[in-house]
Each structure stands twice: as structure tokens, then as C-alpha cells.
Amino acid sequence: MSNVVLSNTDYSVIGSRPIRPDGADKVTGRAQYGADFQMSGLLYGKVLRSPYAHARIKSIDTTKAEAYPGVVSVVTAKDIPTVQRNRPEGGFTPNENVLAVSKALYKGHAIAAVSAVNIHVAESAIALIDVDYEVLPSVVYVRDAMKEDAPLVQETLTTMELGEDSGKKSNIATHFRYELGDPDKGFSAADVVVEREFSTKMVHQGYIEPQNASALWNADGHLTVWTSTQGAFNVRELLGKILQKPVSDITVVPMEIGGGFGGKLPVYLEPLAALLSKKSGRPVKLAMTRTEVFDSTGPTSGAWMRIKVGATKDGKIIGAEAELALEAGAFPGAPVTAAAQSMFAPYDIANMRTDGYDVLVNRAKVAPYRAPGAPIAAFGSEQVMDEVAQKVGMDPLEFRLKNASKEGSRRVDGPTFAKIGNVECIEAAKNTEHYKSEIKGPYRGRGIASGYWANIGKASSCSIGVNPDGTITLVEGSTDIGGSRASIGMQAAEVLGLAAEDVHPTVANTDSVGYTFLTGGSRTTFATGWAAYEAAQDIKAKMIARAATIWEVDPDNVDLVGNELQHKSDPELKISFKELAGKLADTGGPISSQVSVDPAGQGGAFSTQIADVEVDPDTGKVTILRFTIVQDAGKAIHPSYVEGQMQGAVAQGIGWALNEEYYMGDQDQMVNSSFLDYRMPTSLDLPMIDTVIVEVANPGHPYGVRGVGEVPIVPPMAAVANAIADALKLRLTEMPMSPGAVLEAIWSNNGEVVQAADD
């Protein structure tokens, strides 16, 4: 089932479902991904990685590798320019994660890299590099890392305590607090208080395409890098910092990308390919194996949290507080800030407090994963909300509706909501056939959860040129992961009265378009789409001016109506966009436009989700019977792609909820680093996921757009957890809720499960 509710504006192109412009190349295999890169004289690289979770590097001897036939260049950390540490950058420099300097801080930390005439020679060569390690004690779980006697991941790091450097060395990089009102007073007046602790495991984004990068450090000093990335300008900036090279000497060419979800924002191989190319004088290509992806790239955090919510007997929340500690990996930067800001955002609560802890562990530095931090926080907060609703005797959706944040509500960290669609999402969920249906059968349950993500804006650029045949070329700088070429081009088409097929969009390299922030944070259709809108408005004005010149009238008397330029009062003066485009060469020359924008007003997004499950009490297996996601898109530019974002996020959330985790061995090493052992859901594990798109126009965008890629992954884990609790009358507080975890919960309850009535 799929439908759209609350749409009140009709457009010609926006809201339609044209075929994506990059579709043919992708389904025929002609699209060029990073691993497809080829160039004359290309060398192949391989990276030597630490086998230990924590070890001091006493020495590195590359002599044998350098002498091995077919090896062309070898690099270690000494080949990277030294950059001074800078606390505002998080207490470390970007190069330290690219190549280990004095210590290997996690299994898979890069130690050295080689380039050779083929990959087999490169693989043989890295085995010849002799590294003398002093193995050190390690710590890989957040609660262990917070202990006073825990091994220090970064020996010089001191804790930032509520905005001040404490001077105390620990694995806690930062402790911050948000507070609104008086939570203690709220709890003292509450009739019902629920307090629970929760924990989650580290999980990976699970993109299909491994990281890759190719580079040519040319003889003139100019560096060109071809890579699958979510942000070409981000890569350029990081390469400049790491290599101490002006960004004007670097060109980054974004290849097609086989998934990212935030995991392809950092750089891993790009600096290594550049340095190997500089030493060899030839282009070099590097690509990770799946095990390297798991061990050496950024997953999202494991976490511990304590959540407390108080309410009056009539179901009004009057107090909420939380402590959240998230694993950052070996360098500061866990998404705990966003987690703390998002967790209570679906509710209008006068008294709130959240404390966040950014905690280092001996694992790869975490990277964003769709609404970074918010799904983890919601796993705990939405379960507590369900318990409070049960204790006051309210339907879970009625409870959420009674307490829903709306325009004018304030987040715990201060901002006040503008127009939002939270209430509308809850009401739409109540009106679904799914929620109105009964859940029948033993060991079956239904769960509800809501979620929020703030979205971002940031800078974007776009250029448009009018072709003689009346079509337009559109050049933009946002990597296309989920159909953004189409959603951006459609906004330009709407302005100009063109068909979507008349817009030919291209994602350009960093030399061919103005600065564009990365593809992430649900900003691309909002911000780069806005740049396309403004560029199209400029094209419209220029076409109007050209028509006015031909007719020798004032441009103020000419308008573009549909795809036709018309004189406002003389019906005889009219010409189609296509016809005028064909006359440009003879009436003043070509028309083009280039626009850069930096929009605010991105507008937060909400989602409410419904999960039905069946639990086998003998095996612990949880089967998802039915799932519905309701989400406010502001305005769905291309509804099919919005639905795809919604369904894909739910699929990932179900995997995160039930099976996915970094399973660590006794040497603090991941032991399930393959898709055979890291259990992601397949089509056999999922029902058809029903989608309901709510459209509450965002006043901060010309077409009312809100980002759609992040918020759908926030509620699924909590919805599944609440459904399991409904089915078993037992609450699971650790994730994943795997068959083993379900059985442990049953056994800890003396093997008793309250069986649901079989209707």
C-alpha cells in the first residue's frame, strides 16, 4: 500500500514519477563506478593493516617489499606531512586515521600501502613488510571504556567537561548537557515514572560497493582523484588538509556510488592512492575487500543509555531525562549530540535534560549512518514512552498525539519548531487500515514508535544551459545516491514549464561546478534542488527578456505560462519555450545561468511507524508480519524515490533491530566481517512495507520540500522492540534482539511468556 495525504498544491512535474535519467546506464552496467576506473599505466595498490586492536608500532621495515619484483612504490605515515593537533578538530588530525603514526588503534588500522603492476604482486608485497608491534591492552565497549582504570585509547586526550577542558585523561572525549525547564520538579509532580537502561551494538551501513579510490599525481603537481564518495568537495578539502596541498591543485571526480548512507563521507584510500601515485609517477587504484570495509571504515556507534520519563495520570508528560554514551571509535566524534537533540523531539515537554558522552574505544572511527545517533536514542526513548502509555492506560498513538510536538514546541537544546508534520503523521498512522486491524494469534504483537531528524541545508551550486532544441542541461555537484538527479532536475523543469525528460542533469567534478556540500543529512533535494530552482528562475527571466526584445516590449509585460512565453495583454504575442530556444543564436546568443545558494529553513522531519511481529518462543526467532511507515516529506518531488527511501530505511532498521552487530572475539577483533556472517535482512526476511507520505509543506523551501532520507530509519528498531514486548509481555533492552537475545529474556523470566489470546 502506498498513498499520499494532505497534499494541497498541484504541480505539472513535481509529484510525478518520471524514469530516472541515470537508470538506463545503471541497469545495463554502463555506469562507471570507482572500481571501473582504468587509465594507461595504472598501478594497483594494497594496504597493510594492523592485526591488533591496540598496539604500539616500534618499527616498520619496508625493505623487502620495495625490492619485490613488480612493486613500484611504498608509503608509510612518514610520507604524510606532519600536521599539528588541534583541539577544535576533535583532538586528532585526519591523517592519523589514514595511516597509523605511533600506535595502531584498532584492528584494520592502516599501517602501510604499496603499489604494484598488479593486485597479486601488491598482496604479496604487503606480506613482506615487517612491523614490530608492542601489543597493548584494548577496550571495545562503551561502558568498559568509561571506567577509571580503562586502557587509554588516546594517551593525550583530556575530557571536555560541560564546555571546559577538565585536564583529566580518559576515554571520554566530551561530556555535554542540554536542559530545558526543571526536570526534577517535573518528576516530583509525576504520577507515573518509568526509568530504564538500554544498550546497542556497533553496526555497519551495509552498502554493497566497497570503498575505492584512484589517483594521478601529475608531473605538474596537480592531483586528480576518482572515487565513490558522498561529497567530492569534502574529499578535496580533506586531501588538502592531509597532504598540505592547496585545493586549487586538487580535482576530485565523483564516480557513481554503490550505496553510502553516510559511510562514504570520510576518506580512507584517497590519500594513500595520491601518495603512491606521487612516488611512482603513475596512476594508482585501490579498492577494499569486504573484510577491510568492516574492519577499517566507519560503522555507527554502540551505545549505553539511561532514560527516565514522568507523566501525570491523564497521560501528560511533565518530565524527561536521559544519559547517552556512544562509542566514537578510536578518535572523537560519536553522533551523540544529534542523539541527545533528537530523542525527545517528537514530544512537547516542558522539563527535559539530556547528558551526552563521546567515548573512545579501540575500533575504527565511527562514520554517519542515516540520522546519525537518532535511531540509537529512539530505541530507548520510544520504549520508555510505550511503557508510560501502558501505565496510564492510554493507546500508544493517543498518548503520542496528546504529547506531540508542534509549531512553537521547543527542543531540549533550545530551537523552537516552525511548521512541522508530527501531529499529521500520528493522525495518519491512526487512520491506516493497518492500525485499525486486529493483531490475532499467540505470540503476536504490535508496536508503535515515532522519530525525528532535524535535516540540514548548507551550500549548493547549479548551472543550467538552454539547448537549441528547447531542452536544458543541468550541472550540479551532489552525488546521486537515491535519485537526486531526477528530484533536482524536476524542480528546474517545474519553473520552466518543461517535461522532466527535457532536463539533462549531470553530476560534475570539483572543477566544473561551484562548491557543493556533501550528499548527506537529507539536504540534497532541499538545497541543491533550491539551487536548481534559482538557476531556472534566472533562465526564465532571461528567456522572458529575450522574448520581450524580439517583440520590442517591456519584459514586465511578458510571462512564462506553462511552456509558453506570452504577452500579458496581447494574445497574438506568444512563443513556446522550445521555439524561442531555437532562435537564441540569432537573437542575442546562448542563455545560461550559474547559481550558488546556502539556504537555511530546512525544516525538521517526523515519522511514525507500526510493526506487527510474531515471536517463536522455542527458537527466539522474530518474524515481521506487517510494517507501515508514515512520514512527512513536506512535498514529495518524486514520490517513488521518497517511498524507496522510506522502505529502504525500514529494511535497514529491521536488520539493525533483529540481527546486525559487530561480534567481537576474545582479542577484541570483529569475527563476523563478511556478508555471510554479518546478518543483513534479505527479501525473505521482510514483508511488503506499506508507505504513507504526509505532505505538510516546509515554509523554508519554494516547493515545501523536507529531506526524506534520514528520519525513516529512526523509529523502526523501537517499533519492533515495542511489538516484541506486546507479543511476549517482556521488554528487551539490548539490541540486536536476535533469537539468542529473545531466548535469554524468556529464560531470565523463568521461561514464562504471557501468551496472547488466540482469536
Q: What is the pLDDT of residue 1?
A: 57
Q: How far apart are CA 224 and CA 270, in angstroms?
A: 10
Is residue 736 reached through a cis peptide bond, with omega within 30 degrees of 0 on the bond before it? yes
The number of distinct structural domains making up the chain is 3
Q: How far apart are CA 378 and CA 133, in angstroms?
A: 41
Q: How many CA atoms lie within 13 A of 432 on its CB side?
A: 29
Q: Are residues 722 and 586 in the same domain?
A: no
Enter the DSSP assignment of 601.
-
Q: How far apart are CA 531 and CA 540, in angstroms?
A: 14
Q: Is the pLDDT of residue 93 over 90?
A: no
Output the domain CATH number for residue 549.
Answer: 3.30.365.10
Range of the domain at 421: 303-455+603-748
Q: Which residues contact 257 (CB under 8 A, 6 or more apart)?
A: 33, 34, 209, 228, 229, 230, 264, 479, 480, 481
Whether 146 maps to a domain, the answer reads: no
Q: Are residues 277 and 311 in the same domain?
A: no
Rounded mean pLDDT of the chain?
95
Whether 175 maps to a domain, the answer reads: no
Given 597, 620, 652, which residue is the final one in a domain? 597
Q: Are residues 329 and 436 in the same domain?
A: yes
Query: In which band, very low, low, confident or very high, does the pLDDT at 94 lie, cut at 50, 70 and 90?
Result: confident
Output the domain CATH number for residue 267.
Answer: 3.90.1170.50
Of 732, 729, 733, which Cα lies nearest the Cα of 752?
A: 729
Q: How far apart are CA 697 and CA 6, in angstroms?
A: 9
Whether 179 maps to a domain, the answer reads: no
Q: What is the pLDDT of residue 537?
A: 98
Q: Are residues 370 and 439 in the same domain?
A: yes
Q: Is the pLDDT of residue 530 over 90?
A: yes
Q: What is the pLDDT of residue 572?
A: 93
Given 240, 256, 287, which residue is the final one in a domain? 287
The pTM assigned to this predicted structure is 0.96
pLDDT in tens, 223-272: 999 999 999 999 999 999 999 999 999 999 999 999 999 999 999 999 99
Helices (H) and strands (E) in the chain, counts: 20, 30
**What is the 3 state secondary structure string of 534-567?**
HHHHHHHHHHHHHHHHHHCCCHHHEEEECCEEEE
Given 597, 629, 649, which residue is the final one in a domain? 597
User: What does the pLDDT average to over 297-313?
Assistant: 98
Looking at 209-269, list the stretches that DSSP marks H as alpha helix, in order from N- to C-terminal side: 232-243
pLDDT in tens, 452-504: 999 999 999 999 999 999 999 999 999 999 899 999 999 999 999 999 999 99
Q: Are residues 403 and 449 in the same domain?
A: yes
Q: Which residues contact 10 (CB under 8 A, 6 or more apart)?
A: none
Whether 183 maps to a domain, the answer reads: no
Antiparallel, parallel or unpaired: β 158-161 and 172-180 = parallel
Q: What is the pLDDT of residue 7?
A: 57
In degrees and rounded to multiples of 5, residue 302 shows phi and psi of -85, 160
In degrees and rounded to multiples of 5, residue 307 shows phi and psi of -130, 135
Q: Are residues 636 and 700 in the same domain?
A: yes
Looking at 100-202, list the stretches that DSSP marks H as alpha helix, in order from N- to C-terminal side: 119-126, 142-145, 183-188
Of 455, 482, 490, which Cα lies nearest the Cα of 700?
A: 455
Q: Is the pLDDT of residue 431 over 50?
A: yes
Q: Across-strand partners of 146? A: none
Query: In which band, very low, low, confident or very high, does the pLDDT at 84 lie, cut at 50, 70 and 90?
Result: low
* Rg of the chain over all Cα atoms, to the nearest angstrom: 27
Q: Are residues 608 and 717 in the same domain?
A: yes
Q: Which residues contact 491 (CB under 8 A, 6 or more apart)?
A: 14, 525, 529, 530, 532, 533, 536, 637, 702, 703
Percent above pLDDT 90 for the chain: 95
Q: Are residues 561 and 685 in the same domain?
A: no
Q: Are residues 387 and 315 in the same domain?
A: yes
Q: What is the pLDDT of residue 749?
A: 84
Q: Across-strand partners of 465? A: 473, 592
pLDDT in tens, 128-142: 999 999 999 999 999
